[in-house]
């Protein structure tokens, strides 16, 4: 059984609907609370969603996630809810914060996946014979290294 944690990004067709559903949930909660979740709270929640989803998803998905996150912030920051107000200082601030968050998370995700792929387990000698696995039971590693065969070390 192989374990692919961190080796591949989540494909955009899976990451985008998941992120958009969470943005919809943030907008719904903001509308239901009717002002008790202020504009800063909506911005922080949308930036967190955009950042986390951009970290695990393909890089191209972060552009769409940042855009929809910005639309969520400008639409659900104040009453009347679900009416877009894409002008003003709040909209500019939301665009900058969500854009930078998505870009930084995408970069960190790419670096994380690159570094994770470089990690491998090697036997103590560092050499893996062709056709052999680098990871195996301890007895196989001892058998290849010569330990436990009754051989003596040179003095």
CB contact at 8 A, 150 and 99: no
Q: Cβ atoms within 10 A of the Cβ of 68, count?
A: 19
Residue at 6 is within a domain: no
Count of domains in the chain? Answer: 2
The phi and psi torsions of 10 (rounded to 5 degrees) equal: -70, 130
What pLDDT, on a 0 to 100 scale, did the predictor assign at position 135? Answer: 57
Q: How far apart are CA 4 and CA 75, in angstroms?
A: 38
64-94 pLDDT, tens per residue?
999 999 999 999 988 888 888 888 898 999 9
The answer on 93 and 26 residing in a single domain is: yes
Range of the domain at 131: 121-150
Residue-wise pLDDT tens for the chain (155 aa)?
Answer: 344 555 789 999 999 999 999 999 999 999 999 889 999 999 999 999 999 999 999 999 999 999 999 999 999 988 888 888 888 898 999 999 999 999 999 999 999 988 887 776 555 666 666 666 555 555 555 555 555 555 565 65
CB contact at 8 A, 69 and 54: no
The answer on 144 and 83 residing in a single domain is: no
What pLDDT, on a 0 to 100 scale, did the predictor assign at position 90? Answer: 87
What proportions of the chain, in percent to the nearest 5, are helix, strand and coil?
60, 0, 35
CB contact at 8 A, 9 and 57: yes
Predicted TM-score of the model (pTM): 0.71
What pLDDT, on a 0 to 100 scale, did the predictor assign at position 3? Answer: 44
What pLDDT, on a 0 to 100 scale, did the predictor assign at position 117? Answer: 78
DSSP state of 85: -
The answer on 127 and 95 residing in a single domain is: no
């909209």: which residue's tokens? 91
91-109 pLDDT, tens per residue?
999 999 999 999 999 999 9
User: Of 115, 17, 1, 105, nearest to 64 (Cα)?
Assistant: 17
């Amino acid at each position: 059984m192989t374990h692919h944690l961190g080796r591949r990004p989540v494909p955009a067709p899976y990451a985008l609907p998941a992120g958009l559903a969470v943005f919809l949930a943030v907008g719904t909660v903001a509308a239901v609370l009717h002002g008790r979740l202020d504009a800063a709270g909506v911005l922080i929640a949308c930036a967190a969603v955009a950042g986390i989803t951009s970290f695990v998803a393909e890089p191209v998905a972060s552009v769409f996630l940042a855009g929809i996150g910005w639309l969520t912030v400008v639409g659900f920051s104040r009453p009347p809810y679900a009416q877009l107000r894409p002008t003003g200082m709040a909209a500019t601030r939301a665009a900058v914060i969500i854009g930078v968050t998505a870009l930084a998370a995408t970069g960190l995700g790419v670096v994380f996946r690159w570094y994770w792929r470089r990690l491998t387990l090697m036997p103590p000698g560092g050499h893996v014979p062709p056709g052999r696995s680098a990871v195996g039971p301890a007895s196989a590693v001892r058998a290849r290294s010569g330990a436990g065969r009754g051989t003596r070390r040179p003095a």
